[in-house]
Amino acid sequence: MYQDWEPVILTKPSKDKPTQVHNDEPVVREMTHSIQKAIQQARLACKMSQKELATKLQVQISVINDYENGKAVPNNLFISKIEKALNTKLPRAKKKEIIVE
C-alpha cells in the first residue's frame, strides 16, 4: 500500500472573478446585473419556474439559480439557448481582456 505524503493546500476563491464558470469557459467574463435580471424577468414573463427552465435546457436547477444570483457566468452560447427556450432577446456577456505577463 502506498501513502501519498504531498501536502494539501486549501485556498479561498478570488473575489475578482465569479466562483463558478459553467461549460468550461476559458475567458473570464464580466457579469452585469442587467444579465442576471434579464434572465429572471424573461423566465417569469413566460411563467416558468427555475426547475422548468432547467428541464427545458437539460441542465441542473443549480445552474439557472447560479446565473440568476450572479454566482456563475453564462457564456454566449448558453445565453442563446436560454433565448430560444424563453423566446426572447437577452443582453450578451462582454469579454474582459486578460493580460498575461
Q: What is the pLDDT along the chain (101 residues), one digit of tens a residue?
A: 667 778 878 887 666 555 455 554 434 445 567 888 999 999 999 999 999 999 999 999 999 999 998 888 888 899 999 999 999 998 875 665 555 55
| H or E element in which residue 82 lies | helix 76-86
For residues 73 and 21, the answer to whether their CB atoms sit within 8 Å is yes
CA-CA distance, 50 to 44, in Å (whole number)?
9
| Distance between CA atoms of residues 42 and 17, nearest Å | 25
Q: What is the DSSP string of 6-22?
A: PPP---PPPSSS-SB-G
Q: Which domains does the chain have, with CATH numbers?
A: 29-88 (1.10.260.40)
Q: How many C-beta atoms lie closer than 10 Å to residue 1's C-beta?
A: 2
Q: What's the start-to-end Cα distance of the chain, in Å? A: 43
pTM over 0.75: no
